[in-house]
């Protein structure tokens, strides 16, 4: 086992999460990720307490992890994902990105496959 990693990003990109999860698992990483994928349902004001609870649970997954991978399809990083990145930084977690910006300091998640 290489370590524990939590996948972060918009739950609307489940297929991308599944691909990253598969690759990391094949390279001996324990992968944690969201367990609820109903993006539109979670963002209905009526469901705000549920979303808050799931966000807190995801923070606990980040705390359990050595690092996070931001699944930023099309370079999209929403408000919840940015909060997760900031939370990970506050707790000295390594941060990897699926899509890195040219000339940035972001580290590609592919580095984890070496």
**CB distance 93 to 68 below 8 Å:** yes
**CB distance 113 to 23 below 8 Å:** yes
| pLDDT tens per residue across span 97-107 | 999 988 788 99
Which 3 state secondary structure label does DSSP give 42?
helix
Query: CB 94: neighbour CB atoms within 10 A?
Result: 16
| pLDDT tens per residue across span 83-97 | 999 999 999 999 999
For residue 3, name the pLDDT band (cuts at 50, 70, 90): very high
HSE-CB at 34 with a 13 A cutoff on CA atoms is 25
Higher pLDDT, 61 or 53: 61
Residue range 3-78+88-102 in CATH 2.40.30: no
pTM of this structure: 0.91
Closest CA to 94 of 17, 1, 8, 23: 8
């Amino acid at each position: 086992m290489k370590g524990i990693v939590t996948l972060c990003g918009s739950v609307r990109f489940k297929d991308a999460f599944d691909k990253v999860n598969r690759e990391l698992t094949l390279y001996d990483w324990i992968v944690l990720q969201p367990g609820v994928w109903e993006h539109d349902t979670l963002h209905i004001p009526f469901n705000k307490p549920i979303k808050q609870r799931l966000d807190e649970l995801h923070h606990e997954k980040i705390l359990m992890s050595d690092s996070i991978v931001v699944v930023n399809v099309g370079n999209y990083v929403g408000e919840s994902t940015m909060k997760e990145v900031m939370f990970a930084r506050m707790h000295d977690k390594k941060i990897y990105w699926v899509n890195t910006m040219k000339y940035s300091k972001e580290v590609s998640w592919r580095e984890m496959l070496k």
